[in-house]
Amino acid sequence: MTTRIRVLVVDDSGLARSLLRAVLEADGGFDVVGEARHGREAVALVHDLRPDLVTMDLDMPVMGGLDAIEEIMTSRAVPILVVSNVADAQNAYAAVSRGAVDVVAKPALGTREQQEFLAKARLVSGVRVITHVRALRLPAASRPGPPPARSGGAPAALAVPSPGRRGGAFAIASSTGGPQALARLLGDLPRDFPEPVLIAQHIADGFAPGMAEWLATLSTLPVRMGQEGEALTPGTVYIAPSEVHLTVTRGRRLAWQERTPKDLYRPSCDRLLESAAVAFGRACVGIILTGMGSDGAKGLAAIRAAGGETIAQDEASSVIFGMNRVAIEQGAVGHVLPLEGIAGAMVRLAGGCPCP
C-alpha cells in the first residue's frame, strides 16, 4: 500500500483551505493532517504534526507566509509549496529566498491548474530540505563577486573558447528549484557582464513577470521579460513568458511562438536553446539547471552540435536532478559544475579566458 503524503494547509481563508483540502484528498495520494489560519499557527503545527509538505499562503494576519517560512526553515525544515495568486507573484518568489521549494497558482476545481498543483505537491514533498540559519539578505551591490568555477563531475576544466565565441549569448534552461538557482547565478554575475542571457524557466501562467521583478532585485544586471521582436542587448537578462515560447531569430531578435495544447512544458526550454544554437552557433553557451523531466536536453545537444559550450548543474547542488541528468546521459553536456561555479565559468567564457 502506497503511503499517502501528509500535508499541512496554511491559508487565512476558510474557503481556500476547504478547496485545497478537497483537491488534495480527492486525488487519493494525500492526507491533509492539519490546517492553519496564519503563519504562527503553521509554525506550531509543523512541530506538532511533522507533515511531509506544507502548502503556504502569503498574505495572512498575525504572521504572514514569508516570516512563517523563515521560522520553519530555521527550526524544523519541511518542503514548502507556496500557493499564491498571480497578483502576489513577486512576493511568492521572495518566499523562495526564505526557503520555499516552489510556487504554484491557487487551483480551481476541474482546471489545468488543479492538475499542476497536484503534480507540484507530489514533486515538492519529495525534495530533501535542511534546516538552515536565518538568511542574511544583502542588496545586490553588497554581494561578493563570483567564486572560482570548479568541476563537479564531467571534464575537469572548460576549454579556452575560440575567437568565434565573442558576440555570443547564454541560454539557460531550468524548472523545479530553478528560481533559487537563477537567483544565485544571476546574483554572482558582475554588472559588466558582456553578453545577453536568455532564460526559459517552467512557470505557471502569469507568474513570470513577478519572478523577473524578484530576480532584478538580486542582480546588478537588468532583468526583464523577453518581448516579441526585441533586439538583444549585451549584459541584459531576458525571461521567457509562460504564455508563449521564447525563441531567437537568425537576426538575433526575440520571437514568440504560440503554445499548443500538446505542449508538455511551458515555456519550452528546448525551443529557446535550439533557436539560440541556430542564431549564435559556436558563440552560444547552453546551461541546464535543476528540474524535473527532460526539457532542455535536445536544445543543449543542438548547441553542442553547433560547436557551443554546454554546462549542467551537478547533482549535489540540484533540488531535482532530472533535466540536467537526462542531458548528461544523452551526451549533450560538456561540463558538469556545482551551482556556485557556473557564474564564474560564464564570466570566463564571455571574456575568452580559460577556466581552471
DSSP string, 85-124: -GGGHHHHHHHHHHT--EEEEPP-TTSHHHHHHHHHHHHH
Nearest to 73 by CA among 94, 98, 50: 98
Nearest to 169 by CA among 275, 243, 312: 275
Tell the residue number behind the cell numbers 476547504, with chain if given: 18
Which amino acid makes up residue 7?
A: V
Tell the residue number behind the cell numbers 504534526, with chain if given: 49
Which amino acid makes up residue 258?
A: E
Q: In the chain, which residues have pLDDT < 70?
A: 1, 130-166, 352-356
Fold match between domain 5-125 and domain 141-351: yes
Question: For residue 124, what is its C-alpha cell?
Answer: 515538492
The whole-number pLDDT of residue 351 equals: 84
Q: Coil, strand, or helix at residue 6? A: strand
The whole-number pLDDT of residue 130 equals: 62
Question: How far apart (Å, rounded) are the C-alpha atoms in residues 76 and 139?
Answer: 27
Question: How far apart (Å, rounded) are the C-alpha atoms in residues 191 and 196?
Answer: 12
Tell the residue number behind the cell numbers 489560519, with chain if given: 37
Q: What is the DSSP annotation of 328-345?
A: HHTT--SEEE-HHHHHHH
Convert the pLDDT of each residue in 37-66 to its tens digit: 999 999 999 999 999 999 999 999 999 999
pTM recorded for the entire structure: 0.86
Q: Coil, strand, or helix at residue 198? A: strand
The whole-number pLDDT of residue 352 equals: 66
The residue extents of the domains of the chain are 5-125, 141-351
CATH class of the 5-125 domain in this structure: alpha beta
Taking domain 141-351, whether its CATH number is 3.40.50.10190 is answered by no
Question: For residue 268, what is its C-alpha cell?
Answer: 519550452
The whole-number pLDDT of residue 112 equals: 79
Handedness of CA 320, 322, 327, 330 (dihedral sign): positive
Instruction: Count the residues in the chain.
Output: 356
Cβ(258)–Cβ(231) below 8 Å: no
The whole-number pLDDT of residue 305 equals: 98
Question: How far apart (Å, rounded) are the C-alpha atoms in residues 248 and 227?
Answer: 11
Give catalytic residues, as residue numbers.
175, 202, 295
Question: How far apart (Å, rounded) are the C-alpha atoms in residues 333 and 299?
Answer: 11
